[in-house]
Copies of this chain bind each other. A is one copy, B any other.
Amino acid sequence: MKFCSECAQPVTMIIPPDDTRLRYVCSGCGMVHYENPKLVVGSIPIWDQGGDTKILLCRRAIEPRMGYWTLPAGFMENAETSAAGAQRETEEEAGANIALHDVFTMMNVPHVHQVHLFYRATLLDLNYVAGIESLEVQLFSEATIPWDDIAFPTVSLTLELFFKDMRKVREGGSFGFHAQDILKPMRST
């Protein structure tokens, strides 16, 4: 950020009065421009046929992590709920018709200023199709998921937790809600 979005004068990075953090503050009108974490919302589209459970993944057509596999997800928009956003992203990226269930994971990713939410979802048919941000979309069982080519740690962890909970469900348990933090590994020197 270089200029004030209200008056076009240059901004400087200072700690405003009654604050403890560096903020972009306008050198002209004095407006403080706060920056806050963004929500990324997505789904775990589940296709189950006779106990053979598969998950729909998208191969990314855009950076970051182009060519790697992800659950359908994207930035939550103003004026929508997190569930509506998860459903919208699933339609946009995977062309998938889903019935959304409970939120399953909430993961803080503080080094990129994001919080990721993934909802369990039932895939309603096989008429999915890659959206503009996907190279391809494909169903994977736990054994065939390209674990080494998953785009983001929140997606790997959500998939691992899903299959772990699924085994509990088959033994009479229920799906949980999982809140975790993905902290950037310290660089070894």
Chain A positions near chain B (C-beta within 8 angstroms): 1-8, 11, 18, 21, 33-39, 75-84, 102-103, 106, 108, 110-111, 113, 115, 132, 177, 179, 181
Name the distance in Å between A80's Cβ and chain B's nearest Cβ. 6
3 nearest A-B pairs in the assembled complex, by CB-CB distance: A3-B8, A81-B108, A78-B113
- Knowing A39-B36, A75-B36, A78-B35, say if A8 contacts B2 (CB, 8 Å): yes
Given contacts A21-B77, A36-B75, A103-B179, 16 further A-B contacts (CB under 8 A): A1-B5, A2-B5, A2-B7, A3-B5, A18-B132, A34-B75, A36-B38, A36-B39, A36-B77, A39-B39, A39-B115, A76-B115, A79-B113, A80-B110, A81-B181, A82-B115
Name the distance in Å between A167's Cβ and chain B's nearest Cβ. 21
- Knowing A18-B132, A102-B179, A106-B103, say if A78 contacts B3 (CB, 8 Å): no
Q: Are A7 and B3 in contact (CB under 8 A)?
A: yes
- The chain B residue sitting closest to A20, CB to CB, is B92
